[in-house]
Structure 1
């Protein structure tokens, strides 16, 4: 299976916090998942922990490499820039990743949030989301129990799958 591409400074194990969530489901394809994930305005419809999405003027509704956007999640107002965007196809997985940031000084949080969507054999799709974080807020999130990042991202995955199943009538 494929893996996430990590930029310098955000490699798991060396970051202040790391979350990894994955689902593999039958009856859906990467093509079913992709439009729900690549269009951030759709996120609040299936993931209630995202809100107030805006994309930089002149861009969208789909993300693309270099495009800046804004959304709110986990109580943080996040400025973000997409730094990986490859639609699935020709046997290659779909990839979306962004660098997001919020706060200043001791409240500064920097994240690399990445998604990998790949078709598997027998009509299955794998959806992997991983996030590394740097900063004092990340240190606090890493020790919180239950882990809000793991739980929140699992909600995102489950909402994404449910929305895709509804869209294709599965």
Structure 2
């Protein structure tokens, strides 16, 4: 199976916080799920922790390499730039990743790398992997929280993504 491509400064284990969530489901393909992940304005329709998605330069709502956008999540207004975008191609995983940041001073600034990998597997299975690393004081606080809000929030995102794609099939 494929893995996430990490940029310098965001490799898990060398950041202030890291979370990883994965599902493997049957009966869905990358092509079924991709539109719901790649169209950022759809996120709030199936993921309650996402809101107010906006785009720079009259672009969007579909993500693309270099696209800058904004949204709210985990109580943070996040600015983001898509740094990896590989649309579905038969036999290869689809990928999307963004660098996001919540501006502030040394105590409140947060930088993240949030990556997604969607991969068709044998046996009519689909693997969806999302991982995020974070740098900054707010990341240290999130890492210490029990239960971990990032793990739980991203699991909700994965579950919602699968659910919305399944409903569309019916």
Please indicate the TM-score interval, normalised by the length of the shorter structure: over 0.9
* Matched position secondary structure for 2:133: strand
Residue of structure 1 in register with 2:71 after alignment: 71
Instruction: Summarize deviations over 1:84-139 as a string: whole Å, max 9, x none.
Output: 00111120111000000003111000000000000001111000000000000000
Residue of structure 2 in register with 1:28 after alignment: 28
Matches within 5 A, 1:16-95: 16-95=16-95
1:159 CA drift (Å): 0.3
**TM-score (normalizing by structure 1):** 0.98
5+ long unaligned stretches in structure 2: none
Mapped to 1, the partners of 2:57 and 2:48 lie a distance apart of: 24
1:59 CA drift (Å): 1.2
Q: CA RMSD in A?
A: 0.6
For these two proteins, the number of residue pairs brought into alignment is 169
Mapped to 1, the partners of 2:12 and 2:78 lie a distance apart of: 21
Mapped to 1, the partners of 2:41 and 2:86 lie a distance apart of: 18
Moved segments of 4+, more than 4 Å: none
1:168 CA drift (Å): 1.2
Residue of structure 2 in register with 1:165 after alignment: 166
Instruction: Summarize deviations over 1:49-82 as a string: whole Å, max 9, x none.
Output: 0000011133112110000000000000000000
**TM-score (normalizing by structure 2):** 0.98
Mapped to 2, the partners of 1:139 and 1:99 lie a distance apart of: 18
Mapped to 2, the partners of 1:69 and 1:61 lie a distance apart of: 9
* Matched position secondary structure for 1:122: coil
Mapped to 1, the partners of 2:55 and 2:63 lie a distance apart of: 8
Residue of structure 2 in register with 1:156 after alignment: 157
* Matched position secondary structure for 1:41: helix
5+ long unaligned stretches in structure 1: none
Residue of structure 1 in register with 2:140 after alignment: 139
Counterpart check, 1:121 vs 2:122: yes
